[in-house]
Structure formats: C-alpha cells, structure tokens
Amino acid sequence: MSGFHGFPPELFTFFEGLEKDNSKAYHCYLRLQASGLMTGCGALVMAPDQFQRLCTAIDDDTSGRRFEELITQLAARSLPVTSGAEPLLKASPPANPKTHPRAEFCVGR
C-alpha cells in the first residue's frame, strides 16, 4: 500500500486561482478536517434546462435503472449518493411526480 506523498503542485495552482476569482462554478469539492476527509461532486446550481435534462435521464427506464444500480454499488462501498445539501424547492417539477421511484433525486429540487 502506498502512503501519502504530499499534495500535487496542481492543487496549489487551483487554490491560487480560486483565491483570485471565486466566482466560478466548481462541481467538485474536498473537505479535510480532523474527523476525516470528505469529497463530493455534483452541480450546486443548475439552470432550469439542465435540471430538466437530469430529471428526464433519471425518469427514463433504461438510464434511470442504471442510475439506481450505480447508487447501490457506491453505497455498498460506503460512498453514498444523495440529492444534495441545498434546501428543497416547495413545488415539484410537473413532469416528475412525487410517486416516481427515483423521485428523491428530482422531485422538489
């Protein structure tokens, strides 16, 4: 097993750029605390058309079932997939009923 060999120089370049301009939309994050390391990836804010495309893919029988399989595989490795940390919207998108089997990933977001 390999040990920790330090942070790559690209990490510092990234943080320097972030310090200069924090207005960019990054979709991945890393949090390092004494209690552990947490990583995440996703879309913090989506345009309405992006959100609808995501929900359409999750709603589709083929890609939606594959999405469920991937979630199950990741959860088995202690890598949970959640619908996000942002508060839910008050209303559901009309095309995505709350009774849908994968509703937690689109309904009310």
Q: What is the pLDDT of residues 67-97, one digit of tens each?
A: 999 989 988 998 877 766 555 555 555 555 6
- State if pTM tops 0.75: no
Q: Tell me how far apart the alpha carbons of residues 60 and 97 are, in angstroms, rounded to a whole number.
A: 13
Q: Which residues pair with 36 in a beta bridge?
A: 33
pLDDT of residue 27: 72
CA distances from 17 to 5, 6, 12, 21, 103 (A): 23, 20, 9, 6, 37
Q: Tokens for 10?
A: 């690209």
Q: Tell me how far apart the alpha carbons of residues 2 and 81 are, in angstroms, rounded to a whole number.
A: 27
pLDDT digits (tens, 9 = 90+) for 21-46: 877 666 777 777 888 777 777 776 77
- Of residues 36 and 9, more confidently modeled: 9
Q: Give the single-character DSSP code of 11.
A: H
